[in-house]
A and B are shown apart, each in its own frame.
With several copies, the nearest count.
Chain A
Amino acid sequence: MKQYEYLAKQALRDHGIPIPPGRLVNTPEDAYQAVQEIGPAALKAQVLVGGRGKAGGIRFASTPDEARDVAKAMLGMDLKGYTVERLYAEGKLDIEREFYISVTTDRNKKVPLVMASLAGGVEIEDVDDSQIVRQWVDPRVGVLPYFGRELAQRLGLTGTLARELADLVVKLYQIYRERDAELVEINPLAVVNGHLMAADARLNIDDSALFRHKNLELIEEGSELEKKVHQIGLAFVELDGDIAIMANGAGMAMATVDAIQYFGGKPANFLDAGGGASVEPTAQALDVLVSMKPKVLFINIFGGITRCDDVATAILQVKEGTGIPVPLVVRLVGTNEKEGVALLEQAGISAYSDMAPAAERAVQLAGEGRS
């Protein structure tokens, strides 16, 4: 779960990492007061999209009156599909240098990874590899100050900056560890008056660990439709095609999307109905797919834990309820296959047992494909 910039900054401050003076702004009046208190400031839209600056999501205000006007213009504006509901007013900084630092999990080495660079201020993937210093953390040891001193040395920092970096990386790792962060990133890590300060920050919390961070406000990314399906408890991603797809299991769902595209069709979505979903959520998910008004609805099930008769029942439930006003292609094999196929056939739906011809047929019905 990505955290808004102001929440990420708050986490840094709570752990003793210096941040610029800032205020959360919910109304134009807040903006007025914020600039009155902290002086000329950047007003930054609190939305979870990249490239916020270029899209007009960061504007400056020198006076309280100007801040009020700017906030008026920004609050409620649309930024790459997201409505700006909050701003963060942050004092203007006289930045001397811009570094980069982050802690994340290395999936291959299965340990935390600290990345740092003297070339900060741009996305880290735009930084040449030779300018990035990587140090892996032994989780048994954690990050002690010496780790930071070694990091500073590799970066070529000395004196105050080296000392401050050593201290900062200890705290950054505490945030990563204690807050179950997938990523905690300071970019730019600014040098202001010869001291380190977190000019911008990202903090992504591990969704699976939210149960032990109950004080966190829930922030959901994604389209309204995606949020709706996530609430059913299923993984769902909107794509830009017109063949709606349901499959069970993340791998199968990905393979199904791949298969539709393989035959020249355009997948409308990724939907993992779960490895063992029961009738109700499956029916709810189908309802959402129908509401997308696709050209074709393609259901691809390999029943392991999932029972084919449950899937069939869900299909019939939706068909008799909301209705399925588009061509339907079903591939159904595995546990209770016979029962499921029989149920569908009674309703006039014939099911495929192989994935390839089923996917091909779905593409054909959508009027797409190679033929």
Chain B
Amino acid sequence: MAVLLTKNSKILVQGITGNQGRFHTKQMLAYGSQVVGGISPGKAGDTVEGVPVFDTVETAVQKTGANASIVFVPAPFAKDAAFEAMESGIQLLVMIPEHIPVQDSIDIVTRAGELGVTVIGPNTFGIISPGEKTKMGIMPNHIYQPGPIGVVARSGTLSYEIAFSLTNGGFGQTTVVGMGGDPVVGQTFISVLRHFKDDPDTKGVVMVGEIGGSAEEEAAEYLKTFGKPVVAYLAGRAAPPGKRMGHAGAIIERGRGTLESKEKALTAAGASVVTMPWQVVDALREAMAHV
């Protein structure tokens, strides 16, 4: 019913006593997430929304058996938090903060590769598995619904737009994964698509991409053997080259990362590429009908 994040994921919140940490702990609990502990150095013994607070991830893991963690600490401390989680045995790590230095992200992602840790983000809205009633992230709770569609997106609000239109169009979701908008993030379209391929409950996939980089082009190569219907929407059609559109990643630089090349590659790989977000549902309906 889901990939990566399931109801068995026992979740820690790093930075639980901050505003964001506190608010989203409440939201996650409300959604059904199994939040088993929070980290806030010096605040051991406190509770937040009934969740026990620990000084270190090490202790929290020992006491709670946590295997996943979501990080809300400010960007300059994010590398420390990520390594603390990984070295303490956390297997699924969601990095919410934006503005983490790229060199730090390289270090985090490299170490995650060594340890076999799945990193979602940085600069992500997180991951949600509606059928398992669990989420790790900052996405609004009400726009998702259990169902057969996997969604993998680079950016947040745009994925909400599309997830909500899927829900309204009758397409619930197995899991929605936000890869994050930074230049270096833990996942690629391919790494997430692999999970969707292996998940029998995921019958179709929506990719939400954007200009910049060549992640979509590489994904296209993989899609050739994917075997499930894919609809792709790409943002940044009207973006001028050389300008950063918000995300550090969203830039057409030196002729690379144009929408045309992505669209062409995905179409050639058999994906149905739509021009506007509101066209996703119809395209998906058509693609699923052909299966």
Binding site for B on A (CB under 8 A): 105, 107-108, 110-112, 123-125, 138-141, 144-146, 149-150, 153, 158-159, 162-163, 166, 177, 180, 182, 206-209, 211-212, 235, 237, 239, 247-255, 257-262, 267, 270, 272, 275-276, 302-306, 333-335, 354-356
A108–B185 Cα gap in the complex (Å)? 9
Is the C-beta of B249 less than 8 angstroms from some C-beta in chain A? yes
**Chain A residues near B211 (CB-CB < 8 A):** 254
**Across the interface, do A208 and B140 meet the contact criterion of CB distance under 8 Å?**
no
Docked CA distance A258–B100 (Å): 28
In the assembly, what is the distance between CA of A254 and CA of B59, in Å? 43
A-B contact pairs, 22 of them (CB 8 A): A110-B184, A110-B185, A139-B110, A140-B114, A141-B87, A144-B84, A146-B81, A153-B59, A209-B103, A211-B76, A212-B76, A235-B246, A248-B157, A250-B246, A250-B247, A250-B250, A251-B157, A253-B246, A304-B156, A334-B140, A334-B164, A355-B161
Interface residues contributed by chain B, number (CB under 8 Å) = 78
Instruction: Tell me whether B201 is interfacial, beta carbon within 8 Å.
Output: no
- Structural contact, A159 and B42, CB atoms closer than 8 A: yes
Give the residues in chain A near B181, CB-CB below 8 Å. Answer: 250-251
The answer to whether A275 touches B79 (Cβ under 8 A) is no
List, in ascending order, chain B residues with CB within 8 A of A302's CB: 157, 160-161, 164
Contact (Cβ within 8 A) A180 B103: yes
Contacts A208-B100, A354-B278; A272 near B156 (Cβ below 8 A): no
* Segment with Cβ contacts to A, from B2-10, B213-221, B262-270, B283-291: B213-221
Residue of B84, B101, B139 near A146 (CB, 8 A) is B84
Q: Once bound together, how far apart are the Cα atoms of A334 and B167, in whole Å?
A: 13
List the interface of chain B (C-beta within 8 A of A): 41-42, 55-59, 75-77, 79-81, 83-84, 87, 98-107, 109-111, 114, 125, 138-140, 143, 153-161, 164, 181, 183-185, 188, 208, 210-215, 218, 235-240, 243-250, 254-255, 275-278
Q: Which residue of A lies closest to B247 (CB)?
A: A250
Contact A163 B245 (CB under 8 A): no
Known: A141-B83, A250-B155, A253-B245. A112 touches B42 (CB 8 A): no
Say whether B245 contacts A108, CB under 8 Å.
no
Task: Give the one of A153, A211, A303, A305 with max B CB within 10 A.
Answer: A305
Known contacts A141-B111, A254-B245, A304-B138, A150 near B154 by CB under 8 Å: no
Is B106 in contact with A105, judged by CB distance below 8 angstroms? yes
The 8 closest A-B pairs by CB, nearest first: A250-B246, A251-B155, A249-B157, A251-B158, A146-B84, A209-B101, A254-B235, A235-B246
Residues of B within 8 A of A107 (CB): 183-184, 212-215, 249
Cβ–Cβ contact B109 & A110, under 8 A = yes
User: What distance in Å separates the Cβ of B88 from its nearest Cβ neighbour in chain A?
Assistant: 8
Closest to A255 in B: B235
Is A305 within 8 A of B276, CB to CB?
no
Of the listed residues A166, A250, A334, the one surrounded by the most CB atoms of chain B closer than 10 A to its CB is A250
Which chain A residues border B237 with CB–CB below 8 Å? Answer: 258, 261-262
- Cα of A335 to Cα of B142 in the assembled complex, Å: 9
Q: Which residues of B contact A249 (CB under 8 A)?
A: 155-158, 246
B55 to chain A, nearest CB (A): 6
Q: Which residues of A contact B157 (CB under 8 A)?
A: 247-249, 251-252, 275, 302, 304, 306
Please judge, given known A-B contacts A107-B183, A108-B218, A162-B41, whether A255 and B161 are in contact too, CB under 8 Å: yes
Given contacts A208-B248, A209-B103, A304-B157, contact A150 B56 (CB under 8 A): yes
Query: Which of chain B's residues have a CB closer than 8 A to the CB of A303?
Result: 140
Q: Across the interface, name the chain A residue whose C-beta is closest to B102.
A: A206
Q: Which residues of B contact A254 (CB under 8 A)?
A: 155, 158, 210-211, 235-236, 238-239, 245-246, 250
Tell me the complex Cα distance, A296–B158, Å. 23
Q: A257-B239, A262-B276 are in contact. Are A251 and B183 (CB under 8 A)?
A: no
On whether the beta carbons of B276 and A356 are closer than 8 Å, the reply is yes
